[in-house]
Homo-oligomer: A and B are copies of this chain.
Amino acid sequence: MAESKARIGILGASGYTGGEALRILLSHPRVEIRALTAERHAGKPLAQVWPQFFGIDLPNLVKIEEVDTGSLDLVFAALPHGTTQTVIKNLLEKKPELKIVDISADFRLHDPVAYEEWYGHAHQAVELQKEAVYGITELYRDEVKKARLVANPGCYTTTSILAIVPLLEAGAIDTDSIVIDSKSGMTGAGRAAREEMLFSEVSEGFHAYGVGRHRHMSELDQEFSLAAKRKVVPSFTPHLVPMNRGIYATHYVKGDGKTGAEQIHKILADYYKNEAFIQVLDFGRVPQSRHVRGTNFVQIGVVADRTPGRAIVISTLDNLVKGASGQAVQNMNLMLGFPETEGLMQRAMFP
């Protein structure tokens, strides 16, 4: 049986998105883990870095250069932004038919100029940047199925793109007054030891950051503008919540005159009515991040604002699952011809 399973590698297995990919894949019936990398921890058994994986028969952590690319069918790259592009370029030179889901930001922007503007350096793999498919599965399903390289989207952007793009495609909302107030759990900041991420610094408090300038804006601009067929520049402000997981985005939109909040709700409900992971709540109901924690589900609610024509659209997901490694597995399922929901249907652990 093992022969027929897809052979998977995870680059960056000691970080949060790498560890989460592993957690999900360990319950997936059609894959086997063949390689796990972690530069600083190379040589260690995985359970030393992640004690929750005690006693499982898994390969030890190695450096990227030690990975036998030939033995792999698909790789998840859960590496830092900026350097991943070179790693992936090298992997594909070694094995051009390798499939890759990149959880970093390196291939999310189609435009090299925009990339340079937002990330501060020229892209090192422009050809691949053109090839990469932006992996919001629900929007780019057909492209993902055929892709060799999927650029898995950011957590903030997945949350807001799923809520707003159907409205822009339908021409239902004013494109100049979109306000996105978004909130994230702390795992969104990754596992690097930084003073401002210490428990004592962030518990019992709340704050915005990246105000007026956050890299996820570039993904929102790209996808919103594609959907609206005109340039859209939303107002977007991210905040940090003293909790581990969850993105919670509150969107303030204005109907186009004829479109009110109920129509906005209907557009979203219709758009997602056949989607396994997108749950549009009844009109007027408000989602909570805890009800999708640990899952690949998204909950969306629409409420009428008291000013006629304005609506509040709220969407929430788990930043490490649908906002990162869960959507990455969803994309993997399509890339490898598996059922899209395989290994991803578990419901939230609440409380």
Contacts and interface: CB of A to CB of B under 8 A. Distances in A.
A246 B242 CA distance: 12
Interface string A295-319: 1010100011111001010101000
A202 interface: yes
B51 A212 contact: no
A212 B348 CA distance: 27
A31 B311 CA distance: 42
B350 A288 contact: no
Given A23-B349, A241-B241, A312-B211, A289 B205 contact: yes
A280 B287 CA distance: 34
Nearest to A203: B244
Contacts of A56: 347
Given A206-B243, A351-B244, A303 B211 contact: yes
For the complex formed by this chain, how many copies does it contain in all?
4
A112 to B, nearest CB: 21
A286 B204 contact: no
A349 to B, nearest CB: 5
A240 to B, nearest CB: 9
Contacts of A312: 208, 211-212, 235, 237
A96 interface: no
A92 interface: no
Contacts of A349: 23, 294, 349
